[in-house]
Amino acid sequence: FFFNDTATTEIYTLSLHNALPISFTDCIVSGKKIDKMDSKFVQRIIANHLVQFCCPMCVKKFNKNPAKYLAKIDAAKAKHTD
């Protein structure tokens, strides 16, 4: 994407950066390896995070207690930026 003004480009870039995954190779819910080629693979942007799941059932489990799983993501993100 290209924007004509620098401020818009910077805002877009920061928003995109914050939504990028922290290289989770395992499902945040089940702990199973994520196979992006699997037809069950799901990803969603939730609370400004790109969250990847191994299957739709894990999305349902996540939705029952999102704070639990978002805390895991936030902890990994904090560790990654230190």
Confidence of residue 63 (pLDDT cuts 50, 70, 90): very high
Q: How far apart are CA 26 and CA 32, in angstroms?
A: 5
Place of tokens 């870039």: 13
pLDDT of 22 reads 52
28 or 12, higher pLDDT = 28
- H helices within the chain, ranges in order? 6-19, 56-64, 66-81
pLDDT of 76 reads 78
In terms of pTM, does the model score above 0.85? no
**3-state secondary structure (DSSP) of residue 15:** helix
Is it the case that residue 41 has pLDDT exceeding 60? yes
**Average pLDDT of span 67-77:** 86
Give the distance, in angstroms, between the CA of residue 68 and the centroid of all CA atoms in the same chain: 14
31 or 48, higher pLDDT = 31
Backbone region of residue 2 per phi and psi (left: phi > 0; alpha: psi in -120 to 50; beta: other values): beta
Confidence of residue 82 (pLDDT cuts 50, 70, 90): low
Terminal CA-CA length for the chain:
29
